[in-house]
Structure 1
Amino acid sequence: MRIVLGVGGGIAAYKVASLLRLFTEAGHDVTVIPTEAATRFVGVATWEALSGHPVSNSVFDDVHQVNHVRLGHEADLIVVAPATADLLARAATGQANDLLTNTLLMASGPVLFAPAMHTEMWQHPATRANVETLRGRGAAVLEPASGRLTGSDSGPGRLPEPEAIFDAAIALTQGRSDYQLPLAGKTVTISAGGTREPLDPVRFLGNRSSGKQGVALAVAARNAGASVRLLAAHMEVPPPAGVEVVEVETALQLREAALAAAADSDVVIMAAAVADFRPAEISGTKIKKRDDAADPVISLVRNPDILHELVEVRDAAHDQARRSQLIVGFAAETGDGEGDVLAYAEAKLRRKGCDLLVVNHVGTDKVFGQDTNAVVILSRSGSEPQEASGSKTEVSTAVISRIGYELNHVSHRA
């Protein structure tokens, strides 16, 4: 596929180098057209090296090839990232004062804009009108991600992660409607891994969780356009690029981090394996094994129910935005003589009060540390249970897709 990649003059231009790499590694032929301002952030040499093509932003270079006409005509897809407020305005008003805007006017295929700018610029009526104009003409304009911007500012206006833009671009060329990204502009907090409760400076009570499923969820949420915060508890896999990472060790630390992160989150997914109990006392020195001493007795106390507390805080909030927050729990269950996995999970869903509960049937050789998974998604709204299986990436995609559906179609939380 022949792609024209237009690069606007914003600080997020450095991220577009990764987007270019994704396109070329997928076998696409990419011509990069940066604006003059964009070359102040990333030089022409970088774009030429990564694309394998000469790079220019002037209509007067290679005039004999009539590039200002040819590039738009030949492109199967045009992607503009970052699409700054200025670039959106010039595109909406049909200006043709550089090679990129000329190419946009000559486009015969789909066009995708990935905006990035400060929140006030994105929310300004002029920018919103320009976006609606472009959409009205058939262009796809993604919603920006929400999160840290230049300086200390934070809010909607971040460039979506390169992987999310790539997925949206491919979806657009395939005629799919999911190019809008179901979690665009949303902030998602995800816990992953397993907590450890110290007995002494050497030993701890822990579990078999590797963090693979939580990391896969973070990738899927990021690729769906969300700004992702990962609460990482002793993961065996590295966190993905493009997400904020908060490291925790114990259940109490995870509780503190989760309550703080939930304050500005649209979605909270508690996928970490949290210890139900912790030692009542922690020895300051290693517990010794002595022949003349009795076997130690370890007393346990109950850890707080973080998921239930998140629901209580959400439901007690006065502002509508917080009350519409979607909370997702994970249940690692085993059946016994008194009930099967789903029976215990349905009881847990009622007890916790979360909106969705993702249920695993776990065991020594099931789920923990594995690359595959099989889950059932239960909903508080009473809809039919949804099954998902395959790789943990595939399961995560199904969970995130269900979350997007709940956010856009289910209003029982409001």
Structure 2
Amino acid sequence: MLAGKRILLIIGGGIAAYKCLELIRRLRDRGVSVTPVMTRAAEEFVTPLSVSALAGEAVHQELFDLTKEAEMGHIQLSRVADLVLVAPATADLMAKMANGLAGDLATTLLMATDTPVMIAPAMNVRMWQHAATQRNLALLQGDGVTVVGPNDGDMACGEFGPGRLSEVPEILTAVERHFGGGPLAGKRVLVTSGPTHEPIDPVRYIANRSSGAQGTAIAEALLRLGAEVIFVTGPADVAPPKGVVLRRVETAREMLAAVEAALPVEAAVFAAAVADWRVRGASDSKIKKQAGQLPSLEFDENPDILATVAQMKAGRPALVVGFAAETDDVIANATSKRQRKGCDWIVANDVRPETGIMGGAENAVTLITEEGAEDWPRMGKRAVAERLAERLAAALT
């Protein structure tokens, strides 16, 4: 899909410039030719030698380089690419772009190009939120510039908030979308996430300990691979990802209805922590506490969403993936669950309190398929999601 494309990569001066080394490598892995341009400030963070070695091309740095002007003038350089990508796009670089300044090679190329331009901003959170930067952003978007990010997160300066450069996979996804693709382009994938809340009365409920972080990360990873994602989520702590078809639910029965309404899909990933039981005859009024008297609760079994979809006679997704959060005999219980439910894969994890996984930032999973169990090392939930999404893409393509 990207093979044979040519990208003019303009590297701005910011600490996030180091990510461009990985970006270049990943682009070249996909068959992209990368022509690098570095601002003088960028050279303070990464060396031209490193950039050139990874790109396989000389780095362009100076506007008045007689040798390079003789070989390829800056006007021609600005027009031979299929896409101009600016990463990181600093506040200064964005301001120059928005106001038509052309005082160095990078900004002159941006002024002279007739090629689509994409920027990945990165700066201090206060700089990103400053009124001038937001005005410049609006001007650039109005001029047709595609913007990727920035993300929320910890800054090198010690502050937290929006301004982090998008991760390399996110930038790659944006590039693939620009050229109309990704391995999952044209495919619909359903993802469930978060807990369900089963009411006891209007103010109390039964739920599982789930932040929704893993489900959100999976949806984001699938989006980066080009999929259309239908995201059915219970009341999670983590905000749903941008770009999904969002369906919010509270209870297991509502989640099942939303899942059935989303079909047909090519694949379904059931990462939600669905409550197994609901209170029979939940009260419409708050149950009052009375000294010495405990309320008596009776339960009904909730629908088994994973089994319902996995065992469908018609309209079953080509790939059904479940999750198994276990505290004992993880592999044995998860393997049994895969067979019992009828799903294709089970992602099993040990959620004993001492692991810190339930509600935490990391996960350690075992992927169980018909071929057996495959242990994955402990890693961040985003990394788990990317690995699972890539496996899913390979299975569907």
TM-score by length of 2: 0.58
Q: Which residue of 1 aligns with 2:78?
A: 71
CA contact (8 A) 1:231 1:247 kept: yes
Q: From 346, 360, 363, give the equivalent of 1:373.
A: 363
1:402 aligned partner: 391
Partner of 2:301: 302
Matching residue of 2:331: 342
Match of 1:328 in 2: 321
The sequence identity of aligned pairs, in percent, is 37
Q: Aligned AA for 2:330?
A: V
Distance 1:376 1:287, change over 3 A: same
Q: Structure 2: which amino acid aligns with 1:252?
A: R
Give the unaligned 5+ runs of structure 2.
1-5, 10-15, 21-35, 39-71, 86-111, 119-165
Q: Which residue of 2 aligns with 1:258?
A: 259
> Which residue does 2:217 correspond to in 1?
216
Deviating more after overlay: 399-408 vs 185-194? 399-408
Structure 1: distance between partners of 2:348 and 2:251: 23
- Distance in 1 between residues matched to 2:350 and 2:73, nearest whole Å: 62
Residue identity matched to 1:306: I
Which whole-Å deviations, capped at 9, do the CAs of 1:172-219 have from their partners, x for residues lacking one?
Answer: xxxxxxx96332221111111100100001110111100010111111
Say if 2:234 and 2:250, in contact at 8 Å, map to a contact too: yes
Shift in Å, 1:259: 1.2
- Counterparts in 2 of 1:384 and 1:204: CA distance versus 1, 3 Å: closer
Shift of 1:264: 2.7
Counterparts of residues 181-200 of structure 1 (less than 5 Å): 181-200=182-201
Deviation at 1:235, TM superposition (A): 0.9
Match of residue 239 from structure 2: 238
- Asked if the contact 2:321/2:346 (under 8 Å) is kept, the reply is yes
The answer as to whether partners of 2:174 and 2:224 remain within 8 angstroms in 1 is no
Q: Specify whether residues 163 and 233 from structure 1 end up closer, same or farther in structure 2 by C-alpha distance, changes over 3 A only.
A: farther
- 8 A Cα contact 1:181 1:224, kept in partner: yes
SS of residue matched to 1:210:
coil
* CA spacing shift, 1:403–1:260, aligned 2, 3 Å: same
Check whether the contact 2:366–2:373 (CA below 8 A) recurs between aligned residues: no
Alignment check: 8 A CA contact 2:264 2:317 kept? no
Q: CA RMSD in A?
A: 3.5
**2:77, 2:395 → 1: CA distance?**
44
Q: 1:167 to 1:384 in 2, by over 3 A?
A: same
Q: Which runs of 5+ in 1 are unaligned?
A: 6-22, 31-64, 81-98, 105-111, 113-160, 172-178, 409-414
> Any conservation in 2 of the 1:164–1:222 contact (CA below 8 Å)?
no
Q: 1:268 — aligned with what?
A: 268
| Preserved CA contact (<8 Å) 1:189 1:269 | yes
1:167 aligns to 2:172 (yes or no)? yes
Count of matched residue positions in the alignment of Structure 1 and Structure 2: 262
Alignment of 1:344-363 (within 5 A): 344-363=333-352
Inter-partner Cα distance in structure 2 for 1:165 and 1:385: 26
1:327 CA displacement: 0.9
SS of residue matched to 1:199? strand
Map Cα deviations across residues 334-382 of structure 1 (whole Å, 9 max, x no partner).
11xxxx11111111000011111000111224321100010001113x2
